[in-house]
Structure 1
Amino acid sequence: MSDMLWSGWGDPGKAAPLPEQVVALLRDMLGVKPRDLPPVALGDIVPPAPRLAGKALADLAAHGEVRTDAETRVRHTRGKSTPDLLAVRQGETVHTPDAVVLPADHEGVLAILALAAEHGFAVVPFGGGTSVVGGLAPAADAFVALDLRRLDALVAVDEVSRTATLQVGLRGPRVEELLGGHGFTLGHFPQSFEWASVGGFAAARSSGQSSAGYGRFDDLVVGLTVATPAGTITMGRAQKSAAGPDLRQLFLGSEGAFGVITELTVRIRPVPAVKVYEGWSFPDFATGSAALRALIQDGPVPTVLRLSDETETLVGLARASSIGEGGSGCLAIAGFEGEPEEVAARRAGAGTVLTALGGTPLGEEPGESWAHGRFAAPYLRDSLLDVGAFVETLETTTFWSNLPVLYQAVRDALPGHLVMCHISHVYASAASLYFTIVTPEIDWPAAKTAVNEAIIAAGGSISHHHGVGSDHLAAYAEEIGPLGVGVLRAIKAELDPHGVLNPGILVP
C-alpha cells in the first residue's frame, strides 16, 4: 500500500503547479505573496529520539511490525488540514509518534493496547491519515501510531442479505475492487475516497458524495468488532434491533477515543448499470436551496445532489462556463445511478421539479466534469499553498429552516476573506454546508474559534462529516452540554480506564 505525499495530499504524481496566469491573478487580486520560508525536505527532518524504553519497543514487536525510522514517523505526523500541512512543511515534530506499529490482526491490536497501559504510552489509530480536524495530534507525551493497513481483507460477502464484512485497513478503491468482483458496490465516495480507510469512514462518521441516494457511512454499517483496552466488543446481530440502545453508535464517530474498530459489516448493493450526472443553474442560492429541499423531501431523489453558491460557482470550483445568463447564478449537480429505466424515470421526474422551481438544465457536461474531478480539490489546495495562499475548509449542518441563518453566520465570522460554500449533503429535514476559505493571510486559530462560536450560536452542529478531533473540542463541549460531556467521560473511563486511546481527541 502506497503512502500519501508526506507534505500534502495524495499521489505526488498527481500534484501539479498552478499555471502562471493563475498565480498572477492571485497576486494581483488577492495580494498573495510567496511564503518567507520554503518547505523543508523530508530527509532534513530529524524527529526527537523515541521516548519509549527498549523493553516497550521489544514487547510491541511481538505483536506487530515496529518502525522507528525518521521517514515513517514523519509520514505519520498529524493529518491533512492546512495547519497540519504548514506545520509539517516547516519540520515541526511536536506530534510525531515515537514509533509506528503495524498489527496483523485483531488480537495484535488488543495486545498493543494492553502494552500501552502497562508501559504508559498512548495509542493513536491510523488509517489513511486524512483527518482535517486535528484528529492525529494527541495530548500525550509518548505515543505510537497504530497503522492498520495490514488488516486489509474482505472477510465475507453475504449476497442474500447484501452485506459484506471488511477489515478496517482497506482503502476506498480496494473495497470497490473487491466488492466489484462479486457484482456489488459500497457506494461510498467521499472526497478522501482514494486514500481514506473504511475504519476511518466509520470512526469519523464519513459522508460520501452519493449520500442523497446511499446514505452516510454510519447508515451503511450494520456490525462492528472493536478492540478496547478493556477487551473486545462485538455488535450487530441484525440491521435493526430493539435490544436496548444501539451500542454501535458509541463507536461510529468515536475517532479512536473509545476503541479501535478492527472489522465491520456493511450494507452493499449491486453495481449500478447506469451513472448519469448533469448540471442545473439557479438564479441564486436561496432558489437553488429550495429546489434541493423539494427533491429530497418529496422526490424523486437523485443519488447525488449538491449546490454551489454564487461565489463558488463564479470563481471556478464549480465550472464557470455553467453560470447562468448575466454572469451570475448557482450551479447544482444532480446524479442518478441504477438500472436504465429507473434512472431515466427519476431523472425526468427530478427535471420537472427543478424546472418548476427555477432551475435551468445545463446538460451532462457540467455533471460529468464534476464527476471526473471530484477527488482533485485537495490537490488544488496544495498548489495554492505552494504559491503562498492560505486555503482551508470547514463544514456544518442544521435544519432546512435554519440554513440561511447558519450560512450567513459563518460568512460574517470570516470578514475580508474569499469565502465559498456549497450544500454538500441533503436530508429530508436538514442539509450540510461546506465552506472553502481562500486568503493571502489569516490568523487561523483565532478565525477557527470565531467560526466555531458562530456555528454554535446560530444553532448549527460543529461538524457534519469531518468529526471533532482536537480542533472542535471546545465547541463540541458546548454543543452537547455538561451532562453530555459527563456521559462521554464515563464511557471513556469504562472502555479505556488508563486513558491510552487518542487522548485529547473527541472527549472534552
Structure 2
Amino acid sequence: MSESAEERWAGWGDPAAAVSLPPSIAALLEALGVRPAAPSVDVADVRVPESRLPDEVRQALAAVVGAANVLTGPEARARHGGGKSTADLVRQRAGDAAGAPDAVIYPGGHDEVVAVLRACTERRIAVVPFGGGTSVVGGVGPSLSGRPRIALDLRRLDRLVELDEVSRTATFEAGVRAPRAEEILAARGFTLGHVPQSYEYASLGGFAATRSSGQASAGYGRFDDMVVALTVATPVGTVHTGRAPASAAGPDLRQLFLGSEGALGVVTSLTVRLRPQPVSRRYEGWRFESFEAGALAVRRLAQDGPRPAVVRLSDEYESALGPAAGGCLLVLGYDDGTDADAVLAADGGTALGPEPGQRWAAERFAAPYLRDALLDAGAYAETLETAAFWSRLPALYAQVRAALLDSLDRALVLCHISHVYETGASLYFTVVVAQGDDPVGAWQRAKARASDAILAAGGTISHHHGVGTEHRDWYAREIGPLGVDALRAVKAVLDPQGIMNPEVLIPD
C-alpha cells in the first residue's frame, strides 16, 4: 500500500487549493497582535520515533492483510498520528510526530478487520480506526498509554455492497469517501444529502462513528438519522444491527456504535436510507436586525415550517465579515420545496436575494483552507460547537462567548446556528487569536472554560464534532457516573483487553 500525496501535510486538503488572506483579514490580524509564524516543517524532515511493533506482530498482521498493506515507514506513520484540529496542525507544523502509530494497517474487508483485531487482542496492541482522518477533537490522536499502537486505515473498504431501489437504501463499506458515495448514488438518481464541511475527505464509517451532521441537516437529517443498519467488527466477534425500518425488539443496538468513535469496535459496513436527487437547488440570503430576532425566525421555520434544507444564521460579529451590511445574515438553501419568504418577512427579515446564499455555497469548503492561511500568518484559529433547547440557547450563547473572551487576549469570537430542530439548535463558535508562545496550551485553557460554561448553561459538550479525548472529561460530567459505568461495562464485554482506541470517549 502506498501513501497518497493528495492531502497537505500539517494542513487541510489539496495543496493546490490553498488560499491567501484578503487584505481586510490581514489588517484585522494586525489589530489582534498577530505576528508571522515560523514556517512549517516538511513531512520529509519530520522525526518519527522508531516503531515499537515487534517483528513477530508485524509478520502476523502481514499474514492477514498482505505485507504491502503493513506500513512502518516514517511518512505513513506521521500522517496517521493525528487529526485536523488546530492543535494537531500546530504540532505537525513544528515537526512533532511523537504520537505517530507504530504501524499503519490497511485491511481489505470485514474478515480481515476481525482477524487484525483478534491478533492485536492477543498481543495487547492498541488499535485506532482511521477513516478520513478529519477528527478535530483528538479522535485519532497520539496515545498516552505507552503501549504499541496501530492505525487501522479503512480506505480499502471502498465498495458499494448493495443498492435497494425499492426500499431506497444502500449498503456501503465503511471506507467509502463521501464524494465517491454521492457519485455512485447520483448515477442511480439518489443522494444521501449529507454534506458536512469535511465532506471532501471524510468517510461514511467516520460519519457514523462520530454522529456527523451535514450542512443540509434541516432537510435531510443528521447522519445517524440516515443509518438503518451497521456491521461492526469487535475484538470478540461481529455485531449486526438493524434488520427492519423500525423495531420494538429491545433497545436499538445501533445506538451503541453510532458516536462510539472506534472505542467499542470498527464499523465495516453500513446501510443508509436514500432520497431522490432534488429537481432544483437554490440559495438565498436574509438580513435580521439582531441574532435574537434571527433566531426567533429560524425557530419558527424549525417548528412550524416550511423548513429549508440549509438554515444558517450568523451572529453580528460573523456577519460583519460578509455582505449583510449590519445586522445578522441568514443563509437558506432549498432542495425543491416551498420558500419561507412570508414567514421571514413577517418576523422582520429583509430579503437580500440569491447572491449571499450562492456565495456561501461556493465557499462552504474553503474555511479549513482559510485556517491554514491564518496559521501561516501567525494566528490560531479554532472552533467549538454545542447545542441546547431553544429556551436555553440565548444564555448558552452569552455564557460561552463570555468565557472565550475572558480567557483569551484580543480574540475574535464568531458564532452561527447551522443545525435546527423543533426543540432546539446548535451553536458553532469560531475563535481567532494570536498564536503567542504557547498556542496549544492557551487554547486548551480557554476551551476548558468554554466547556464548563456549556455544561453550566445546559448545553451538550458536542453537537457533531464528537467526544474524542478533548471532550472526554466533560462528556463524563454530562452523562454522570452511572452512565460512565454503563459504557465501561459495554466496553468490557466487546473489548475485554481495552485495545480499541483506548483513550477516547470513555474516561479511565
Distance in 1 between residues matched to 2:317 and 2:10, nearest whole Å: 29
Q: CA deviation at 1:62?
A: 1.6
Over 3 Å counting, the alpha-carbon distance change for 1:408 and 1:20 in structure 2 is closer
**Equivalent position to 1:139, from 120, 144, 151:** 144
Tell me, yes or no, if the aligned pair for 2:49 and 2:98 is still in contact at 8 Å. Answer: no
Is residue 2:12 matched to residue 1:9? yes
Letter in 2 for 1:329: G
5 Å-filtered alignment, 1:47-62, equals 47-62=48-63
The reply on whether 1:367 has 2:357 as its aligned counterpart is yes
Q: Determine the structure 1 residue equivalent to 2:370.
A: 380
Give, in whole Å, the separation in 2 of the partners of 1:464 and 1:19: 31
| Cα distance per residue 1:314-363 (max 9 Å; x no partner) | 0x2xxx2232xxxx20000111103xxxx3xx11xx11000000111111
Contact map agreement 1:6 1:74 (CA 8 A) in 2: no
Match for residue 75 of structure 1?
79
Shift of 1:21: 5.8
- Residue range with higher mean Cα deviation, 158-167 or 135-144: 135-144
Is residue 178 of structure 2 the alignment partner of residue 161 of structure 1? Answer: no
CA distance in 1, matches of 2:105, 2:206: 17
Question: Which residue of the partner structure matches residue 94 of structure 1?
Answer: 98
Moved more, 434-443 or 174-183: 434-443
Deviations 1:283-334 (A, max 9, x none): 00000000000001001111111100000000x2xxx2232xxxx2000011
Aligned to 1:412, the other structure's residue is in SS state helix
Tell me the residue number matched to 2:183. 177
Deviation (angstroms), 1:41: 1.4
Q: Tell me whether 149-158 or 88-97 shows the greater mean CA deviation.
A: 88-97
- In the alignment, the residues of structure 2 paired with residue 457 and residue 20 of structure 1 have an alpha-carbon distance, to the nearest angstrom, of 39
Alignment map for 1:25-64 (pairs within 5 Å): 25-27=28-30, 29-35=31-37, 37-64=38-65
Distance 1:264 1:432, change over 3 A: same
Structure 1, residues 228-282: CA drift from partner, whole Å, max 9, x if none?
0010000110121000000000000000000100000000011111001100000
Give 2:280's aligned amino acid: V
Q: 1:413 pairs with 396, 399, 403, which one?
A: 403
- The sequence identity of aligned pairs, in percent, is 58
Letter in structure 1 aligned against 2:93: R
Partner of 1:432: 426
RMSD in angstroms over aligned alpha carbons?
A: 1.1
How far is 1:2 from its partner?
5.8
CA separation of 1:310 and 1:271: change in aligned 2, threshold 3 A = same
> How far off is 1:4 after superposition?
2.1
Q: Is the 8 A contact 1:77 1:88 kept in 2?
A: no
4+ runs deviating over 6 angstroms: none
Q: Give yes or no for contact 1:122–1:140 (8 Å, CA) kept in 2.
A: no
Number of the residue aligned with 1:480: 479
Is residue 305 of structure 2 the alignment partner of residue 299 of structure 1? yes
Residue 2 and residue 225 in structure 1: after superposition, are their counterparts in 2 closer, same or farther (change >3 A)?
A: farther
Q: Is the alpha carbon distance of 1:48 and 1:235 closer, same or farther for their aligned partners in structure 2, counting shifts above 3 Å?
A: same
When residues 453 and 233 of structure 1 are mapped into structure 2, their CA distance, relative to the original with a 3 A threshold, is same
Whole-Å separation in 2 of the counterparts to 1:181 and 1:384:
38
Aligned partner of 1:398 in structure 2 is 388
Establish whether residue 278 from structure 1 lines up as the match of residue 279 from structure 2.
no
1:196-345 matched pairs, under 5 angstroms: 196-314=202-320, 316=321, 320-323=322-325, 328-338=326-336, 343=337
Q: Which structure 2 segments of 5+ residues have no match?
A: none
- Counting matched residue pairs gives 490
Q: Distance in 2 between matches of 1:21 and 1:354?
A: 31
Q: Which of 416, 426, 436 is the aligned partner of 1:422?
A: 416
The alpha carbon displacement at 1:448 in A equals 1.2
Q: Is the 8 A contact 2:415 2:429 kept in 1?
A: yes
Deviation at 1:215, TM superposition (A): 0.2
What is the TM-score normalised by the length of structure 1? Answer: 0.95
1:402 and 1:507 map into 2 onto residues whose CA distance is 27
What SS does structure 1 have at the residue aligned with 2:208?
helix
Distance 1:381 1:61 in 2: 38
- Tell me which moved more, 16-25 or 65-74: 16-25
Which amino acid counterpart does residue 417 of structure 1 have in structure 2? A
How much does 1:221 deviate? 0.2
How far apart are the structure 2 equivalents of 1:364 and 1:140? Answer: 52
1:470 aligns with 2:464: no
